[in-house]
Structure 1
Amino acid sequence: MTNHIHFIVEQGNDTRSVGELMKRLAARQTRLVNKSENRSGSLSEGRYKISPIQREAYLLQCCRYAELNPVKEKMLTKPELYPCSSYRHRAGFEASS
């Protein structure tokens, strides 16, 4: 996606883990983009949004949404063509590393 990303992560036992992950990712991405584009300031418009997934059916729905979003937005014709996706791995096109 050109203006946002989707993550589906397992929380684990540490309730701070997702928040800390998002904080570090945002800081690192901001530093890299600002350095490469010789700019300063924030990249995001606001805080990330989170939706707890408690049912397997909802997990499948979220995975479908995230993996098919580039196709829906007409960025490409097949989800396996999107380079920033786990679809190729999930669909069995790539072995796990």
Structure 2
Amino acid sequence: MARLPRLTLADQPHHVIQRGNNRQPVFVDRADHEFFLGLIGENAARFGIALHAYVLMDNHFHLLATPSTADGLPQWMQAVGRRYVRYFNDRHGRTGTLWEGRYRSTLIQTDRYLLTCMVYIDLNPVRAGTVTDARDFPWSSHGHYVGLRQDRFLTPHPLYWALGNTPFAREAAYAELVRGGISSAVHAALTDATLRGWAVGDEDFLHSLQKTTDRRVLKARPGRPPTSRSE
């Protein structure tokens, strides 16, 4: 089956996953993490990307970002990916591919899923057993949003600002969201949609989104496609 073209729209949040080839490590030490964060921050500004959240696991990473143009996201990912491969191969004395094919992405409904996707991203190290508390993992945006540090390249989404009237209130409210977690069903839905390229949202959102693109935004139901009827 032919791959669907990526669904990328301006001014809409996108969840991105990129994995190492054969699940091999793509971050070995602190220098690798810091170099990659520098790349995504520098190129986010270059390509008009608002980066809301991230997590850098050993063999993959997640990003949540809103591009200001339809081609900003693929340009950003291409620039970051190519430069990082050159850096990683040179530094670690290796050759060949680093990534498991192209990055995967999905467009998400802002009001219903953006904060949920941030929580999903923050909890990756906890689900993997790397840490028991998201606050203890240094390579995610969680520390920024709960007041442990400042990541200058991040752009908090208006929904985060709406969590409270003061920094302390926002940090406490967001920390509570992460402590509450997400259901296994929501986790599976976000993962599956991102890997397969389907949009995530309710029926009204998906119906409205479909009007903006010829590319299907949701997996087709099994069976014969419905025939068109004149009105």
- Which residue is equivalent to 1:27? 82
- Which residue is equivalent to 2:60? 4
Q: Indicate yes or no: 2:106 matched with 1:51.
A: yes
**Structure with the higher strand share, 1 or 2:** 2
**Where does structure 1 lack aligned partners over 5 or more consecutive residues?**
none
Once structures 1 and 2 are overlaid, which stretch shifts more, 34-43 or 54-63? Answer: 54-63
Out of 124, 134, 142, the residue aligned to residue 87 of structure 1 is: 142
**Where does structure 2 lack aligned partners over 5 or more consecutive residues?**
1-56, 153-231
- Alpha-carbon RMSD across the aligned residues, in angstroms, is 1.3
The alpha-carbon distance between structure 1 residues 27 and 96, as it changes in their structure 2 partners (threshold 3 A), is closer
After TM superposition, where is structure 1 displaced by more than 6 Å over at least 4 residues in a row? none
TM-score normalised by length of structure 1:
0.90
- Which residue is equivalent to 1:62? 117
How many residue pairs get aligned? The number is 96
Separation in structure 2 between the aligned mates of residue 22 and residue 54 of structure 1, nearest angstrom = 21
TM-score normalised by length of structure 2:
0.40
Separation in structure 1 between the aligned mates of residue 81 and residue 134 of structure 2, nearest angstrom = 25
Taking CA–CA contacts closer than 8 Å with sequence separation of 6 or more, which of the two structures ends up with the larger relative contact order? 2
Identity in percent? 33
Alignment of 1:30-41 (within 5 A): 30-41=85-96
Out of 68, 72, 75, the residue aligned to residue 130 of structure 2 is: 75
Separation in structure 2 between the aligned mates of residue 64 and residue 94 of structure 1, nearest angstrom = 18
Aligned amino acid, residue 2 of structure 1: D
The alpha-carbon distance between structure 1 residues 48 and 2, as it changes in their structure 2 partners (threshold 3 A), is same
Aligned amino acid, residue 28 of structure 1: R
